[in-house]
Structure 1
Amino acid sequence: MEELLQQLAGKLGIATRFSDGGLVRKDYEVDDAVVRYIAERLGYKAGNRGEVEKSLADFEKRRWQQTLENIYVVEQGKLQFDAVVPAEQAQSFFALQIENKDTGIRSEVAFEVHPTDETYTIGKTIYVKLLVAITNELPVGYYNLTFTVADKTYKSTLAVAPCRCYENPALADGKIWGYALQLYSLRSERNWGVGDFTDLGNFIRMCARCGADIIGLNPLNVLVHSFPENASPYSSISRLFLNPIYIDVEAVPEFKPEDLSEIADKIAELRQSELIDYAEVYPLKISVLEKLYGRFMADRGSDRRNEFRAFVEAQGDDLHKLALFQTLYDIKSTYIWGGWTAWEDEFQNPNSPAVRKFAEEYADRIRFFKYLQFEADRQFKQASAVVAECGLKVGLYRDLAVGVGKDSAELWSDNDLFIRDVGAGAPPDAFFPAGQKWCLGAFNPYVLKERCYEPFIKILRANMNAAGALRIDHVMGLMRLYIIPDNGDAGTYVMYNFKDMLNIVAIESCRNKCQIVGESIGNVPEGFLETLAEKNIYALSVLWAERKDAGWGDFNAPGEYPEKAFMSVGTHDMAPLRMWWFGYDIELMHSLGLMDEAAKNDTYHKREIDRWKLLSALDANGCWPEDNLRKDNYIYGQGYPEGIEEAVHRFAAKTASKVFLAQLEDILHVEKMQNLPGTDKEHPNWRRKLPVTLEKLEGDIAYIRNIQAIRRER
C-alpha cells in the first residue's frame, strides 16, 4: 500500500492490516480498494494520489482550525482537554464557565492553561495546541462548556465520567444466581402463542420464590412488523423502542372479554403449537389492538389519553419517525420488495415534502403505532416493577444488540449517522473462512462524535430502562467494527474513540445504577479485556469455553473461573446440554450442509472425549456421585447419565463467578437449539417454545431437582 494512503487510513482509523484472533494468528493485508472505498464513505476522497493528498490536508485543517471539539469526554481526577488557538493568542485572557445540563446551574471553575509544543501552520497562521486543566472536581454528568479566548467565545460539551462502571452491591458482597430467559419462548396457559409482559411479571415472581436474583432477557426491541417471520431479536429496526408482540392484549385497559368471541379457538391453537407462528400471532394481536385503539381514541377526556400525550411528547421525534417508518413500511411493502432503500427516492428521506404529505394523510395510522409503544412501555414497566416488589437483588438483565438491520428505522430516519454503502460483519476465521456479513448498519465515528454521542447515549438509556444489568453484545464494537463494502466480500476494521465510548458507558451505568457486562466472543484485540476489567465491566463466561489448552483441554475447575463474570453453561447460539450430549447438534449441522462428512466424524470423536472430560470434571469437584460414574457407557452416547443436569448446575453454581445464569432449556431437557448461527429459513430460529407451561414449571420434577442443586452451592 502506498505510504500516503496508509497515512490517511491511520488518521481516519481504517485498519490496513489485522489478525484473525485464532489460536495461530493469521495476518491479513487490506486491499487498497477497500481502504479507498471506506475513506470516501467517511467523507475523504481517496481515488488517486491527488485526492489522498488533499484529504490529508483537509483532515489536518479541520483538526487545527477548530478551537474546541464538539465534546470532550474526561474522567474524574483527569479533567483536562485540548484547545487550538493561533499562536499569538496562546498567552491571551482565558475564561471558562460550565453549565450542568441537568440542573441548568452555571458556575465558574478553577482552571489552568498550558501551551504545548504541538503546532501546525496553515497559510501564514501558526496554530498551537493548549492543554486546559480544570483544577476542581466535578460530579459525574454532562455540562455545557464555554471557553473564552481574548474576546471570542467558544462552546462545547464536557462529559465527566467515573473511573469505573457501576457495581451492584449484591455482586460486590457475594454471589447470586438466576435465569437466562428468551421471553418469547415462555409457554403459558393464558398467552397468545408467544411469551408476553404479563408472563414476564409472573416469571419474576416465580424466580423470587426459588431464590433467584436476576433474569437475563433477549433483546426486547421492535422488529420489522410487516414481516413478523423475520424474528431475530438481534436485528431490530430501532434499539430505542420495544417490540409490541410482547403486549398482553387482554391486559390493555381498552380490552373487553367479548373481543375474544371470534378468535378464542385460534388463540388456543397458537398457544398449543410447538413453535411460535409469528406470521399468525402478530397479525392476530394487531387486529385486536386496532379495535382497542379505536376505543382509546373515542375516550377523549380520560387520564389515559393525557398519559398518552405525555408519553408521545417525551419520546419526541424518535417515536414519530419510528411510527412514520412503520406506516410507510405497511404501505410500501404491499408492492415494493427490498426494504426502504427500494422505495421511491422521495420516500427515502424522512424530511422530504413527499414524506411530510404522507404523514398528514396517514396521521391516524402513525398515531396507532405510537399507541402500541405507549402500551408496550406501560406493560413493561408493570412487569419490571415486580422486581422491586419481590426484592430481587439485580432484577432484569437486558441485552443490547451490536447494531440494527440496514433496513431499519434507525438508518432511514438518520442515514447521515451511519457509514453509507457498507455493513458490519466479522473477518475470516477458522469457523467462517469467508468472514461473516451481518448486514447491520455501523455508526460513522466522526458524525457520532459531532453529535456529542447523543444517539449512543439514547440507546444506552433506553436499554438500561428498568435494568439492573445490561449485556453489550459484541462489546469490541466500542473500539472497532469490521466493515464490509456493499459491493464486495472483503472488509477491514474501522476504529471508534474507545476511551470516549467506554466513558460514556460508565456515565450511563452509574446514572442508571446498571451493571455492565461485555460479550466478547470473536476477534478480541490484545489488552482489550484488561481495559474492560479496569472499567469494572464484567465478562461473560461459558462452561464450554472455560477449558485449558485454549479451549480444547480439560474443563477448568470452579475456582479457576473469572470472579467478575456472568457465567452460564451455554448461550442461545449453542446446543442445550441434552442435545450436546447426544451430538444432535452435529447431526443437524451436517444435515444442513454446515459441516461435511469428515468434519462431522472428527467432531463426533472430539465430542466423545469432551463427554469424558465433562464427567471427570464433575467427579473431581464433588458434583457427580461415584456410583453414577460409568463413564465408559456414556462417552460413546450409549446412554444419558441420570442427574447430569443437576451435576452440571451444581458445578456451575460452585464457580467463582459472581453471577450464574441457568438456562431453562438445560433444566427441562430440551434437545433443540433456539438459534443455529449461519442459518435463516433452514432452521426455525427464535421460534422454540419451552416444553412446560409457566403455571406448571414449579411442579416439574426436573425443575425442582435442578433448583435444589443450584441452591446447594449458592
Structure 2
Amino acid sequence: MSETENTQAVPDGDARSELQQLAAAHGVLTEYQRFGGDTVAVSDATLRAVLSALGVDVGGPQQVSHALRRARDAAWRDVLPPTVVTRHGHEHRIGVHVTDGASVHVWLELDGAEPASRAHAVRPRRDLQQVDEYVEPRDVDGRRVGRATFAVPADVPLGWHTLHALSEGHESTSTLVVTPARLDLGDDLERHQAWGVLVQLYSVRSHTSWGLGDLADLADLAWLTSHRAGADFVAVNPLAAAEPITPMTPSPYLPTSRRFGNPLYVRVEDILETAYLSAADRSLVEWAADPVRDLDASDGPIDRDAVWSAKKAALEVVHTAPRRAARQAAYEEFLAVQGGGLQDFATWCAVTEELAGRPWPAELADPAGPGVTAARERLADRVDFYCWLQWVFDEQKRSAQRTAVESGMRVGIMHDLAVGVHPEGADAWAHADVLATGVGVGAPPDMYNQQGQNWSQPPWNPEALARAGYVPYRDMLRTALRHAGALRVDHILGLFRLWWVPDGMAPTDGAYVRYDHDALIGILCLEAQRAGAHVIGEDLGVFEPWVRDYLADRGVLGTSVLWFEKTDGRLTAPQEYRHLTLATVGTHDMPPTAGYLAGEHVDLRDRLGLLTEDAQVLRSQARAERDVAVRALAEQGLLADNPSEREVVEALHRYLRRSRAALVGVQLVDAVGERRSQNQPGTDTEYPNWKVPLGDSAGNVVLVEDLFDNARLRSLFAAVASGR
C-alpha cells in the first residue's frame, strides 16, 4: 500500500510520550543519526513547531491527546485514500471505508491521455473486484466503520486515473496514479558510458550575450562540445524563475517558481518577431542592450539586475510586435496546455511588479479571491506579457535541446530541479494550501557544513499534497521535463525525508519529516518516461542506506563524487562504482578541482568563519586526501612521479572514465583551469555566490567562442574523450 494514507500507525502500549507518538503518526522522526553515526533525540520544542507547521494543534496536553486519537483513526474517516500510487505490473490493494455492513461498488475511470486533449472525451471504465480480506471494524466519531478491500489489477495502464466508490447513495472519488516499475536507461547507455559537461549557464557568456550566459549560448555550447569533443550532454544549473523586478535573487537554487523558467536566459535576438520589428523598434532593442554589452568581457561579478533591466525593456518592445497566424496559434496552444498555473504565475509577476517591493495587501493573499481576480483584469496586458515570456523561454529551451540532439548528443541538455522555492515567491503564493509555513528546508550538520543549513524554503506538506492528488507536484515536473534529455533532482533525498527547521531555530535544531517516496518517486518516473528523459538524483549527504537501492530499483541514477567515494580510507576503485550514477570529480558547492587540490576549500571557510574545527588540522586532512588520490591514480597507471596540477586533474577524470558509472560529468571550470568557487554554502553576502564569471587559472574571462582556444580545455576534453 502506498503511504498516501499519510498518518502512520501508532501501536497500543507505546512507551513514548504522546507528543512523540503524535509526531511519529504524522511522519516526524523523533530521533535521527547524524553525520558520524551517533543518535540524536529531537527536542519537544522542535516537535511542537514541526507539528504546528503540519497543521496539527499541539497547544497543550489535551490538544495533543485529542490530535493523537484523531491520527489513529485518520485513514478510517476517508472512504477512499486521498491518492493511490501504484507500480505498473503489480496488483495493488485499496482499503475502502464505509458504514459497517453496507455494500460498496468501486470502479476505475481510465485516463492515460493529457487532460488538455481529453477534457470532454468519454473515458473507459473498469470495475474493481473485492478481495476476501477481513479487517476488524472500528468505531470512528460515533459511527461503526468497516473496511472493504479492493484490488487494482496489475495490467491497469500507466497514467492518471480516477477511483470511484458508491455506497449508501454517496459517491466518493480519488486519484489513482499508475507509474512505471522502472525507468529504462536504454541499451546504448547500458553498454556505453556517456560523458558530458557541467556548467553554470549564467557564467558562460559569449560575444553576443547580454552580460549573462543564455539559452542561445547553451545551444552553441552543446553543438561545440559535441562536434569538437564528442560530449553526450550538457548539464546546467536550474533555469527556474526569479523575481520579475530587481533586486533579483542570485541563487538559481532559490527560485520564485520551480515550474516556470527565468526569462533572464532568453536571447532577445532569437525571438522570431524581433526580425520583423520596425526600424524605430529595432533601435529601442539595440539601445536597451547597449548598457550591458560590455559586461560579457568583464571579470567582475555577474550583474543580474543590470542584465534583467536591459532585457526586460527590449522584451517589452518585442512583445508588442504582431505574430503570424501560426505563431499566434502556437502561443494560444501553449497557454491552454499550461492552464491556470501559468495564469497564476503571470498574475503574481504582474502584481509584484506593480507593488514594486511594497508588502502584499491582505486582499491579494488568495489567488482565487476577488481581489486577485480584479487585479488580473486590471493588469491584463502585463499578465499576458509574463505569459508570453514563458512561451519564448520554452521555445528557446526546446531549440537548445534540438540542437544538442541533432549535433549527435545521446542525452542532450540535462536540466536541474531545485529542492524548493523562495518563501515569498510565486509558488509559495499559489500553493499556500499544500506548503508548510513556519519552517524552512535545510540539512543537518555534515563534514562540509558543520553548522547545518537552512535554505529558507517552505516544504511540501505531505498530507496536504496527497489530498491535492499531487497535482501541483505533477504540473511542476511536466514543465521542468519539457525539452529535457535528463533532469537532475537536487537533494532527491528530500523525496524520502526532509530536514525541517522551525523559524527562529538553528539548523541544528531541526527534525526529519517523512514523505511518501513511493508516490513522489513514482510520479517523477511516470512524467520522465512520458517526456523521454532520464532522471539523476543528487543523493549526497546524510541518508538511510536503503535509499540508494530503492532509487536504483526504480531506474533513477544517483550521484557519485570522487572525493566522497571512499573505501577503507582509499578512493573507491573504478570497478566498484555504482553503474546507475552520474560520476563527477567535484560539485558546484566545492572549489574547482585545481582549487580543491590546493586546499582552498579550507582556506575559504577559515576566512569566512565557517569552521568548527582547527583550520590547521583540516589543512593537514586536505593534504592527506590529495596524497591518497595521487597514490590511487598512480596505482591505476594514470600518473607518473611529480605530476603537475593539470596532469592530476586529467588523471582524476580518466579515473572516472574507467568506472562503471553510466554517466561521467566534467565541470567546465575544471576544463579551463578556474580555481574560484561558484558557491560557498553557509554564506550570503560574505561571498559572491552564483556571480563568478567563467575564467581561466589567472582569472581571465573565457567566452564561448574562445573555449576551444584554451589549451587546458582541449587537453582535458581529449583525455576524457579518449576513454579509459
TM-score under structure 2 length normalisation: 0.90
In the alignment of these two chains, the number of paired residues is 686
**Kept after mapping to 1: 8 A contact 2:79/2:165:** no
Residue number among 601, 614, 620 corresponding to 1:605 in the alignment: 620
Aligned pair 1:589/2:605, yes or no?
A: yes
Pair 591,6 (structure 1): closer, same or farther in 2 beyond 3 Å: closer
Which position in structure 1 is the counterpart of 2:9? none
Trace 1:491-506 onto structure 2 (pairs within 5 A).
Answer: 491-506=510-525
Q: Give the distance between the partners of 2:566 and 2:108, measured in 1 at CA.
A: 54
Q: Give the distance between the partners of 2:619 and 2:142, measured in 1 at CA.
A: 72
Q: Give the distance between the partners of 1:315 and 1:480, measured in 2 at CA.
A: 29
Q: Give the distance between the partners of 1:423 and 1:653, measured in 2 at CA.
A: 38
1:264 CA displacement = 5.8
Q: Give the distance between the partners of 2:586 and 2:520, measured in 1 at CA.
A: 29
Q: Give the distance between the partners of 1:641 and 1:48, measured in 2 at CA.
A: 62
Pair 491,261 (structure 1): closer, same or farther in 2 beyond 3 Å: closer
Which position in structure 2 is the counterpart of 1:635? none
1:350 CA displacement = 2.5
1:670 CA displacement = 0.4
Aligned pair 1:186/2:204, yes or no?
A: yes
Q: Give the distance between the partners of 2:47 and 2:601, measured in 1 at CA.
A: 39
1:228 CA displacement = 4.3
1:28 CA displacement = 2.1
What one-letter code is carried by the residue in structure 1 that aligns with 2:616? N
SS in 2 for 1:437: strand
Which position in structure 1 is the counterpart of 2:29? 15
SS in 2 for 1:117: coil
Which position in structure 1 is the counterpart of 2:670? 666
Q: Give the distance between the partners of 1:137 and 1:440, measured in 2 at CA.
A: 39
Q: Give the distance between the partners of 1:152 and 1:369, measured in 2 at CA.
A: 43
Which position in structure 1 is the counterpart of 2:655? 651
Larger mean CA deviation between 75-84 and 165-174 belongs to 165-174
Aligned pair 1:386/2:413, yes or no?
A: no
Trace 1:154-303 onto structure 2 (pairs within 5 A).
Answer: 154-209=172-227, 210-255=229-274, 256=277, 258-259=283-284, 261-262=286-287, 265-274=290-299, 275-294=301-320, 296=321, 299=322, 302-303=325-326
What one-letter code is carried by the residue in structure 2 that aligns with 1:268? R
Aligned pair 1:478/2:495, yes or no?
A: yes
Larger mean CA deviation between 163-172 and 677-686 belongs to 163-172
Q: Give the distance between the partners of 2:213 and 2:494, measured in 1 at CA.
A: 30
RMSD: 2.3
Trace 1:132-143 onto structure 2 (pairs within 5 A).
Answer: 132-135=150-153, 137-143=155-161
Larger mean CA deviation between 586-595 and 659-668 belongs to 586-595
Larger mean CA deviation between 560-569 and 488-497 belongs to 488-497
1:260 CA displacement = 5.4
SS in 1 for 2:234: strand
Which position in structure 1 is the counterpart of 2:369? 352
What one-letter code is carried by the residue in structure 1 that aligns with 2:165? F
Pair 231,168 (structure 1): closer, same or farther in 2 beyond 3 Å: farther
1:113 CA displacement = 2.4
Aligned pair 1:513/2:523, yes or no?
A: no
Q: Give the distance between the partners of 1:619 and 1:708, measured in 2 at CA.
A: 20
Q: Give the distance between the partners of 1:471 and 1:560, measured in 2 at CA.
A: 23
**Kept after mapping to 1: 8 A contact 2:285/2:313:** no
Aligned pair 1:705/2:715, yes or no?
A: yes
Q: Give the distance between the partners of 1:402 and 1:31, measured in 2 at CA.
A: 25
> Can you list the C-alpha shifts for 1:394-422, whole angstroms capped at 9, x where unaligned?
11211111111111100112211111222
Q: Give the distance between the partners of 1:261 and 1:48, measured in 2 at CA.
A: 64
What one-letter code is carried by the residue in structure 2 that aligns with 1:320? Q
Which position in structure 2 is the counterpart of 1:634? none
Structure 1's unaligned 5+ residue stretches are 337-341, 632-639
Q: Give the distance between the partners of 1:28 and 1:437, measured in 2 at CA.
A: 18
Q: Give the distance between the partners of 1:123 and 1:263, measured in 2 at CA.
A: 66
Aligned pair 1:100/2:111, yes or no?
A: yes
Q: Give the distance between the partners of 1:138 and 1:511, measured in 2 at CA.
A: 16
Aligned pair 1:88/2:101, yes or no?
A: yes
SS in 2 for 1:622: coil
1:461 CA displacement = 1.3
Which position in structure 1 is the counterpart of 2:129? 111
Residue number among 615, 621, 624 corresponding to 2:636 in the alignment: 621
Q: Give the distance between the partners of 1:677 and 1:434, measured in 2 at CA.
A: 10
**Kept after mapping to 1: 8 A contact 2:204/2:693:** yes
Aligned pair 1:343/2:360, yes or no?
A: yes
Which position in structure 1 is the counterpart of 2:693? 689
Q: Give the distance between the partners of 1:302 and 1:135, measured in 2 at CA.
A: 47
What one-letter code is carried by the residue in structure 2 that aligns with 1:609? A
Q: Give the distance between the partners of 1:689 and 1:145, measured in 2 at CA.
A: 52
Q: Give the distance between the partners of 1:381 and 1:435, measured in 2 at CA.
A: 38
What one-letter code is carried by the residue in structure 2 that aligns with 1:362? L
Pair 10,372 (structure 1): closer, same or farther in 2 beyond 3 Å: same
Q: Give the distance between the partners of 2:226 and 2:380, measured in 1 at CA.
A: 44
Q: Give the distance between the partners of 1:511 and 1:301, measured in 2 at CA.
A: 31
**Kept after mapping to 2: 8 A contact 1:147/1:153:** yes
**Kept after mapping to 1: 8 A contact 2:112/2:158:** no
Aligned pair 1:458/2:481, yes or no?
A: no
Residue number among 336, 340, 350 corresponding to 1:313 in the alignment: 336
Larger mean CA deviation between 444-453 and 485-494 belongs to 485-494
Which position in structure 2 is the counterpart of 1:542? 561
Pair 576,96 (structure 1): closer, same or farther in 2 beyond 3 Å: same
What one-letter code is carried by the residue in structure 2 that aligns with 1:700? N
What one-letter code is carried by the residue in structure 2 that aligns with 1:258? S
Residue number among 515, 539, 542 corresponding to 1:523 in the alignment: 542
Residue number among 567, 575, 578 corresponding to 2:583 in the alignment: 567
Pair 467,35 (structure 1): closer, same or farther in 2 beyond 3 Å: same
**Kept after mapping to 2: 8 A contact 1:71/1:157:** yes
1:285 CA displacement = 0.9
**Kept after mapping to 2: 8 A contact 1:481/1:493:** yes
Which position in structure 1 is the counterpart of 2:86? 74
Larger mean CA deviation between 653-662 and 148-157 belongs to 148-157
1:80 CA displacement = 2.1
TM-score under structure 1 length normalisation: 0.91
Which position in structure 2 is the counterpart of 1:636? none
> Can you list the C-alpha shifts for 1:310-340, whole angstroms capped at 9, x where unaligned?
3223222211221221222223234x3xxxx
What one-letter code is carried by the residue in structure 1 that aligns with 2:97? V
> Can you list the C-alpha shifts for 1:627-668, whole angstroms capped at 9, x where unaligned?
xx127xxxxxxxx44533322222221122111111111111
Q: Give the distance between the partners of 1:656 and 1:500, measured in 2 at CA.
A: 29
**Kept after mapping to 1: 8 A contact 2:239/2:252:** yes
Pair 566,429 (structure 1): closer, same or farther in 2 beyond 3 Å: closer
Aligned pair 1:439/2:465, yes or no?
A: no
What one-letter code is carried by the residue in structure 1 that aligns with 2:581? A
Percent of paired sites with the same residue: 30
Aligned pair 1:324/2:343, yes or no?
A: no
1:447 CA displacement = 1.0
Q: Give the distance between the partners of 1:672 and 1:344, measured in 2 at CA.
A: 42
Residue number among 557, 567, 574 corresponding to 1:558 in the alignment: 574
1:61 CA displacement = 4.5
Structure 2's unaligned 5+ residue stretches are 1-14, 696-701
What one-letter code is carried by the residue in structure 1 that aligns with 2:648? I
Pair 98,659 (structure 1): closer, same or farther in 2 beyond 3 Å: same
1:191 CA displacement = 1.0
Pair 622,312 (structure 1): closer, same or farther in 2 beyond 3 Å: same
Pair 120,202 (structure 1): closer, same or farther in 2 beyond 3 Å: same
